Structure 1
Amino acid sequence: MATTTLTARYLITDIGSIEFPVITLSSDGTITDISSDPRALANERDTLTAAFFDIHTHGAMGHDVMQSSPAELGEMQRFLATRGVAHYLPTTVTASVDATLSALEALANAIEAEPRDGEAQPVGIHLEGPFLSHAKRGVHPPNDLQPPSITLFDRFQSAARGHIALMTIAPELPGAVGLIAHAHRQGVKLSLGHTNATAADAIAGIGAGANSATHTFNAMRPLDHREPGILGTVLDPRPDHAPLFAELICDGVHVAPPLVRLWLKAKGLDLAILVTDAMSAAGMPDGDYTLGHFAVKVAHGRALLAEDLAAGKETLAGSVLTMDRAVANLQRYTNAPLGDAARLASHNPAAMLGRPELTRLAPGSLANLNRFDAKNNLVATYVRGRAI
């Protein structure tokens, strides 16, 4: 079997770093050996890390995962790979029940298809809605929001053929705690979001099985010093509940840099997760786009709901962030080293989902890696051993 090798100055894995790594790859794109040899270094000052895993993205390149054909999903997946992403969770937006069922079936087909060269691979579905708070719905259409329902969730999971891996839910809604417990028993991960929850509501959701928070700070009850609410519960550095992962959209638009630093200090390097929450305009010029069935105007790095903008109100409608920029922004805002920033975009989301093998770099693992130059710029991505 033919083999190739990759070398660099450093390799950063989920358990440590290796100087002067020599990574041997087989022709099927798996790692067969990792060793260290300073003699193999060819004037490189690069660092290799695990490729990224975006667990919250709605689209890119003009395509929305709710209504994309296989060819359009392929175009989106090729774009994601050029931004360092090897795995992702296509993320739904609240829509009619029929539209959601149709989207879930199509996404299940994409997940079950053979991985294609040069493309990020969908490995599960993030169901964002319809079990969300009207008070904190953001751009999710109010007429399509649903009360938490085990029966409806089971219909969704059946349409998805079991591929719903993560679900965002507001824990304060009647029936939410029961649904969280039901989905948790099926192995689905639950994320608290689009929520006006009190601290007690949030803790009840965590007790039922929720293990993450969706885009921290955004679409959440604001912090109050007498009622910490969902946000205080997420950021509590000494919680009286199970550890909670927390997503953040690190684009400088959704969350100000001082609060990015607060979030990272509160969650630490094991529970913080970078996401893009990207919509169809990611990778595209400014203009008019859609998120689900909503019109969105994109200008100067901001995606805003068109109908609210016309009424003089600004409502963020996802982002146009890419994961390589999220990692670069985190380093700039917090002075985090590259390895820590990359961890938040790779190993932590995989750990939250209980899928650490997706980003592990060891013999037998897929060779999904990112290469950064001496200035920490992403310069190459290897998906299943092939350079993008």
Structure 2
Amino acid sequence: MIDKIIKIYNGKVISPLRVIEQATVIIKNGKIDGIYQYDIEIPDAISIDAKGRYVSPGFIDIHIHGGGGADFMDGNVDAFLKVAETHVQFGTTAMVATTLTSDKENLLNTLNIYEEATLKNKKGASFLGLHIEGPYFSMNQRGAQDPRYIRDPDPEEYLEILNASKSIVRWSAAPEKKGAIEFGRCLRKYGVIPSVAHTDAVYEEVVEAFENGYTLATHLYSAMSGVTRKNAFRFAGVIESAFIIDEMDVEIIADGVHLPAPLLKLVYKIKGPDKIALITDAMRGAAMPPGPSILGSLADGLPVIIEDDVAKLPDRTSFAGSVATADRLIKMMVNLADVPLVEAVKMLSHTPARITGVLDRKGSISVGKDADIVIFDEAFKIHYTIVGGEILYEQTTIGS
């Protein structure tokens, strides 16, 4: 069999440490085969002239619900494929499919559909596993999560779910809930990352949770406690705890709406690019026009409205997920938060790959790793998205 070779030349290759000017990247059979600081001749290679644009590792979104009018909770394979194919156009090459708070039956059904969708996904961002968001949350910090299904961790329930699928890579929960510490220990035994989310915990509870496996904070600042006062005494909340615990990873919705510039800068200043994963937390309204939409499944989801570049509950009392795409995250971190491009890219590639345990094969343009590559310009417009050595998106507009 003749080897399939792709040559990307005349590009600015982004590594975790620097930008390599006038570089060439060679892809062979879906893997990175070589990186050179000059052009090289390779007969029969598919050649892509980057035209001086950035050649970046593919973007990895570890918290995403939907896009293109589809949601992972819709209950069918086509929805999974639609989300993956929508976001690949914006540079996402891998994603962790995320559920919403629901009843057990819908959750188990989603797990089964994920397995089938993974086999059929040939044109979109690859799936790295499942993120179960809920239902073990604080009612007070539920945000747009459906209150009908919020409950305490139930060993009989979560063991059934964990034994039903080996594709679960993370599970978000409120650590102050009854049974949540035991739940975290159980998740670790199954190789699943427990993540602090939708929580009213105070510092002491977060420390105990961290000691029992909760090493990640889900969408920092969103749906979690800050400094609170009880009987005149102040208590540090989850936000402060995530800053204090140096080893805790955090994810942020860097869409420029959920967190304004000062908070993006603060998180970056305290945690740094090695501990921050940029996420879209996108719902079905991503890459869709403003107007009415649904958070969660079409059959049983919550009505929301998309306006001001974000999804909101109809009464506008809370955000209901973002409509961001990965390219927007990079743009906001660079232009709004003044973060160097190399570090912004790192937070959407190298760091999420490390958190989810796939850094050995993804997260950077390195020899031997999967050829997941994005080419974008100075305005952060995506021109190519390559997943596993396959060109899945190419900007074809005249003048591109």
Question: What is the rounded CA distance, in whole Å, between the counterparts of 1:155 and 1:305 in structure 2?
Answer: 32
Higher strand share: 2
**Match for residue 172 of structure 1 among 162, 169, 176:** 176
Q: For residue 86 of structure 1, what is the aligned residue in structure 2?
A: 93
One-letter code aligned to 1:51: G
**Match for residue 181 of structure 1 among 182, 185, 205:** 185
- Shifted more, 7-16 versus 184-193: the winner is 7-16
Question: What is the rounded CA distance, in whole Å, between the counterparts of 1:339 and 1:122 in structure 2?
Answer: 25
CA offset at residue 91 of structure 1? 0.5
Deviations for 1:200-234, whole angstroms, at most 9, x for unmatched residues? Answer: 01111100011110111010112359311111011
Question: What is the rounded CA distance, in whole Å, between the counterparts of 1:262 and 1:43 in structure 2?
Answer: 34
Compared CA separation, residues 177 and 8, structure 1 to 2 (3 A): farther
Question: What is the rounded CA distance, in whole Å, between the counterparts of 1:282 and 1:374 in structure 2?
Answer: 22
Q: For residue 220 of structure 2, what is the aligned residue in structure 1?
A: 216
Deviations for 1:81-136, whole angstroms, at most 9, x for unmatched residues? Answer: 0010011011000011111111121113223x1540x3101110000001111111
CA offset at residue 178 of structure 1? 0.8
Q: For residue 77 of structure 1, what is the aligned residue in structure 2?
A: 84
Compared CA separation, residues 221 and 2, structure 1 to 2 (3 A): closer
Q: For residue 285 of structure 1, what is the aligned residue in structure 2?
A: 289
Question: What is the rounded CA distance, in whole Å, between the counterparts of 1:185 and 1:360 in structure 2?
Answer: 29
CA contact (8 A) 2:31 2:371 kept: yes
Q: For residue 29 of structure 1, what is the aligned residue in structure 2?
A: 30
CA offset at residue 157 of structure 1? 1.9
User: Does 1:54 find its partner at 2:61?
Assistant: yes
Give the count of matched residue pairs.
375
CA contact (8 A) 1:183 1:189 kept: yes
Q: For residue 163 of structure 2, what is the aligned residue in structure 1?
A: 158
**DSSP 3-state at the match of 1:8:** strand
CA offset at residue 29 of structure 1? 2.0
Compared CA separation, residues 107 and 254, structure 1 to 2 (3 A): same
One-letter code aligned to 2:35: I
CA offset at residue 171 of structure 1? 0.6
User: Does 1:101 find its partner at 2:108?
Assistant: yes
Counterparts in 2 of 1:322-337, with a 5 A limit? 322-337=325-340
Higher helix share: 1
CA contact (8 A) 2:68 2:86 kept: yes
User: Does 1:295 find its partner at 2:303?
Assistant: yes
CA RMSD of aligned residues (A): 2.0
Compared CA separation, residues 144 and 21, structure 1 to 2 (3 A): same
**DSSP 3-state at the match of 1:7:** strand
CA offset at residue 300 of structure 1? 2.7
Counterparts in 2 of 1:167-316, with a 5 A limit? 167-224=171-228, 226-236=234-244, 239=245, 243-292=247-296, 293-306=301-314, 309=315, 313-316=316-319
Deviations for 1:1-58, whole angstroms, at most 9, x for unmatched residues? Answer: 24221123421223554333221122x3222222221688979322211110111111
Q: For residue 7 of structure 2, what is the aligned residue in structure 1?
A: 5
CA contact (8 A) 1:49 1:339 kept: no
One-letter code aligned to 1:132: F
CA contact (8 A) 1:286 1:298 kept: yes
One-letter code aligned to 1:228: A
Question: What is the rounded CA distance, in whole Å, between the counterparts of 1:184 and 1:104 in structure 2?
Answer: 19
CA offset at residue 265 of structure 1? 0.6
Question: What is the rounded CA distance, in whole Å, between the counterparts of 1:271 and 1:36 in structure 2?
Answer: 30
CA offset at residue 151 of structure 1? 2.3
- Shifted more, 138-147 versus 47-56: the winner is 138-147
CA contact (8 A) 2:162 2:190 kept: no
Counterparts in 2 of 1:345-356, with a 5 A limit? 345-356=348-359
CA offset at residue 73 of structure 1? 2.0
Deviations for 1:128-160, whole angstroms, at most 9, x for unmatched residues? Answer: 00111111111112221121123211211233x
- Shifted more, 243-252 versus 72-81: the winner is 72-81
Question: What is the rounded CA distance, in whole Å, between the counterparts of 1:25 and 1:358 in structure 2?
Answer: 14
CA contact (8 A) 1:338 1:376 kept: no
Question: What is the rounded CA distance, in whole Å, between the counterparts of 1:2 and 1:62 in structure 2?
Answer: 34
Return 5+ residue gaps in structure 1 as ranges.
none
One-letter code aligned to 1:185: K
Q: For residue 121 of structure 1, what is the aligned residue in structure 2?
A: 126
Task: Among all aligned residue pairs of Structure 1 and Structure 2, give the percentage whose two residues are the same amino acid.
Answer: 27
CA contact (8 A) 1:211 1:352 kept: no
